[in-house]
Amino acid sequence: MSDIKKSAKHGNFVIQQGENNSISIICDNTRQALRDIAKEIGMEYEQEWNTQYFGHRLINFINGVDTTRKGKALE
């Protein structure tokens, strides 16, 4: 995203408009948002997953990519 031109906060969300007029929404509890999305779409997850790994698995699940571990753990 380009530099932020303006932003507004509502509840747990920050809405940002960039200099190029692109819009992004940021939530203040990313982990909970990932949990909520996973629950809504029926994806199982482990409580100990960190945010980066959880997000990676969730994106793959939504995109139809097999997210099961095969062999050894991720590096």
* Per-residue pLDDT tens digits for 10-27: 998 999 999 999 999 999
Within a domain: residue 37? Answer: yes
What residue numbers bound the domain in which 49 lies?
Answer: 4-62
Within a domain: residue 35? Answer: yes
Within a domain: residue 67? Answer: no
Are 18 and 11 in contact by the 8 Å Cβ rule? The answer is no
Within a domain: residue 32? Answer: yes
Q: How far is it, in rounded angstroms, from Cα 62 to Cα 19?
A: 30
Within a domain: residue 72? Answer: no
Question: What's the whole-model pTM score?
Answer: 0.68
Q: What is the pLDDT of residue 52?
A: 96
What are the tens digits of pLDDT across the range 25-45?
A: 999 899 999 999 999 999 999
Number of domains in the chain: 1
Q: How far is it, in rounded angstroms, from Cα 68 to Cα 60?
A: 10
Within a domain: residue 15? Answer: yes
pLDDT exceeds cutoff 80 at 65: yes
Within a domain: residue 74? Answer: no
> Could you give the strand order of the β-sheet that contains 23-27, starting from the edge strand earlier in sequence?
4-10, 13-18, 23-27
**3-state secondary structure at position 6:** strand
